[in-house]
Structure 1
Amino acid sequence: MKSRRARATAWLNDCIGIPHLLAERPRFLEGIERLSDMAAVLPKPRSIDDGALRQINSRVQVDDLDRDRLADPEQALAYVESRAPGRDLILLDVGGYFAPALEHLHTHFSGRLLGVVEDTENGHQRYAALDKVPVPVFSVARSPLKDPEDYLVGQSVVFSTEALVRRRDDILNGRPACVIGYGKLGRSIAEMLHAKHVGVTVYDIDPIRRVQALSQGYRTAGTLSEALGDAGIIMCATGNHALREDDFTRVPNGAYIASVTSSDDELELTALTGLYTRTPVNDQITRYARTGHYFYLLADGDAVNFLHGASVGTFILLVQAEILAALGLLAGGRHDPGMWEVPPEVRQSIAATWLTYFHGVS
């Protein structure tokens, strides 16, 4: 294990983080290191920039991310003990990786688990669904400061999907689109597709969201089967298995499937093993086929926008600043167990500072 910052200058708490290790992310991790001693980072494997990895690897312990290992209470505990034994610890999560083992970590960790900061909606749902949230969990997933990022991520997902489709000398136009999930990302995706004159059908398990989609001019479907219909483009934006084994059989022949998040979160691809033959079309498009049926999967089912950097410009700094604020609040150790959000006045201060710095207005 790499040597850590000398304890003479160490912070009062350690931090283990799961980041998207994109090109600009080392600056964010430097910000974390001003508030906490980084015990380790576990980068999301499909979003690692080689240059960023080299920078981080030179000063912080970098470990492989394995959802199954972290979901197992004993293995998760052994890992945390190997990185921050006896310390006050904060977990920075992107997708609820620590949620299944959280109670066990809280009870048996040799140090003190101060809490968790969660960045994503699917991670928020995983923590909120626990029978008992044993430590404070600060979620930025539903923060208004995250709205710009979510909107721009949706735009980038459509950009990358179109880029991949064009690599097969194909285009989006003329292919009806099905958007599964009408949260903030799904709405942005639907809007961008509509702007490109692509017909959009929206499916969401929540009837309220289907009503919202109707009010904004999209077709909706009462069932996923109906939504898939004659779709030529299927955009999965639920974070919770948009397509399961039986759903794939209803995907129209020749359709392209794209995801906004990790394949293990969005698509039940393991169920297709032995049922479909996988044939690479190129390095980012795979043809799944069996007798009488075939479709194309983009980017192995992972977030397509990471293929083109997933950049949202300086707007990402709004979310990162809120994560740092949540980290600071947890370090104070004055919050009861449960789900928490950063106070509105802190968010307003972040937004005002960002406006002043980047646009000269407050």
Structure 2
Amino acid sequence: MESFELARLDRYFRHITDAFGPPGPAVARSLLVTHLLAERPSFVAAVDRVAGLAAVLPKPKSIDRAALAQITTAYHVDELTRELFTDDERALAYLEERAAGQPVILLDIGGYFAPVLSELCERFSGRILGVVEDTENGHRRYLDLGKAPCPVYSVARSPLKQPEDHLVGQSIVFSTEALMRTRGDILPGRAATVIGFGKIGSSIARSLHAKGVRVTVYDDDPIRAAQALSQGFGVAPNRYAAIARAGMVMCATGHLALRRDDFARLPNGAYVASVTSSEDELELDALDGVYQQAIVADNVTRYEITGHYFYILAQGNAVNFLHGASVGAFIFLVQAEILAAAARLAAGDVEPGYHEVPDGDRRLIAETWLSHFNHTATGAYL
């Protein structure tokens, strides 16, 4: 980003934290799971003003090296793994090391804290003030807990996230075709299947259609299947039928989309891309020792067994992060809502359960965002 763009971003987050943050120095502490992309230091600094950062935990497959270097000079930066927050004792020891005896907010992307949340709430020497979750996948993981042991705010289904979800779908399609082009292939002329017709999956389907791709949708939710049909997409009756003739399969469920047996049904030469991590979306580990694997281009892996082959893009991880996963300034709407939710938790008077930021706060965020980033009104570019 240009220096004037960074300055504008810093002003925007300062206005947000002035509106929602504590009137004085932050009392609460926070653990921040984040995609550490190039523009992210401004958001990290804003989080610190709302709830002083005990540690930043960058998602390992989306780290900008310059941003990492900048963040490391000011904050504790720790390695993030699923294993860190699947064992109660290990997670508790980590939290005690970083924030013993203090009120703590957990800022999450993907439900990392969900497996140990009950134990942390019960046994931590300080107090877990609550969780803020960013993604639909993580939202579901917290809902699976049943009764929440502390307040859990989710921005995953917020109207402020809809612009991001729409643009993420476009970025997935862009990156998918960019990888295919390294092998001389393109999307037009192929039949594509989109598994999952949620916010991102529906955007992927529309983006593919705009490129002249024949799109079939499979979603095990009959309501979403009906929505896809109403928008002119073919709808497969089951997953097997969906992938049987697909030259491209885009997995956008946020949970397991393709199992071991599904891969055997892929047509020869089909490409498979995901919107999230391989551990969530694709059962690739089950193919080890069955299929021979060979890297045939950057981030394109050929899986082959006698008489059958297909390609996995980006090792099954979210393809758009290979090209920065940019959704422009619209991501700052979501980040501001995360800050507003964190500020409510920092006040310390939110009841356990599942919560959303009030509409009034969302409107204020949108108005503030428009005043900074609506280039039609301001004459400035995003």
Using the size of structure 2 for normalisation, the TM-score is 0.91
Code of the residue aligned with 2:223 in structure 1: it is I
Instruction: Report the 3-state secondary structure (helix = DSSP H, G, I; strand = E; otherwise coil) of the residue aligned with 2:225.
Output: helix
Whole-Å Cα distance in 2 between the matches of residues 57 and 288 of structure 1?
A: 38
Shift of 1:10: 6.1
Equivalences for residues 48-59 of structure 1 within 5 A? 48-59=63-74
- 1:135-174 pair list within 5 angstroms: 135-174=150-189
Offset of residue 19 of structure 1: 0.2
- 1:103-118 equivalences in 2 (<5 Å): 103-118=118-133
Letter in 1 for 2:248: I
Could you say which residue in structure 2 is the equivalent of 1:3? none
Over residues 69-110 of structure 1, what are the superposed CA-to-partner deviations in whole Å (9 max), with x where a residue is unaligned? 211222111111111111100000000010011000000101
1: CA distance between counterparts of 2:49 and 2:325?
A: 26
- The answer to whether the 8 Å contact 2:131/2:152 transfers is yes
* Greater Cα offset, 138-147 or 39-48: 39-48
Q: CA deviation at 1:173?
A: 1.4
1:322 maps to which residue? 337
Match of residue 43 from structure 1: 58
Runs of 5+ in structure 1 lacking a partner?
A: 1-8
Question: Once the two structures are superposed, what CA deviation does each residue of 1:231-288 show, in whole Å capped at 9, x if it has no partner?
Answer: 0010010110111112111122110000111111111111111111110112310011
**TM-score, with length taken from structure 1:** 0.96
Residue 28 in structure 1 maps to residue 43 in structure 2: yes
Match of 2:273 among 258, 275, 279: 258
Matches of 1:334 and 1:326 in 2, distance apart?
A: 12
Letter in 2 for 1:277: Q
Unaligned runs of 5+ in 2: 1-23
Match status 1:96 vs 2:111: yes
Residue 45 of structure 1 aligns to a residue whose secondary structure is strand
- Whether the 8 Å contact between 2:25 and 2:49 is mirrored in structure 1 is no
Matched with 1:16 is: 31
Between the aligned partners of 1:299 and 1:106, the Cα distance in structure 2 is 37
Equivalent residue number for residue 90 of structure 2: 75
> Is 1:223 aligned to residue 238 of structure 2?
yes
Matched letter for residue 98 of structure 2: R
DSSP-derived class of the 1:334 partner = coil
* SS of alignment partner, residue 34 of structure 1: helix
- Is 1:131 equivalent to 2:154 in the alignment? no
Where has structure 1 moved over 4 Å in runs of 4 or more? none
Q: Which residue, out of 238, 242, 258, partners 1:243?
A: 258
Say how many residue pairs are matched.
353
The share of aligned pairs that are identical, in percent, is 62
Q: Counterparts in 2 of 1:300-319, with a 5 A limit?
A: 300-319=315-334
Q: Give CA deviations for 1:297-344 in whole Å, capped at 9, x if unaligned.
A: 101111101111111111111001000000000001111111110001
Give the counterpart letter for 1:141 in structure 2.
Answer: A
Identify the residue that residue 204 of structure 2 maps to in structure 1.
Answer: 189
The two structures, once aligned, show a CA RMSD in angstroms of 1.1
Alpha-carbon distance in structure 2 between the residues aligned to 1:117 and 1:84:
18
* 2:365 corresponds to which of 346, 350, 360: 350
For residues 146 and 365 of structure 2, what CA distance do their matches in structure 1 show? 33
Partners of 1:162 and 1:146 in 2: CA distance: 25
2:352 aligned with 1:337, yes or no?
A: yes
Displacement, 1:131? 2.8
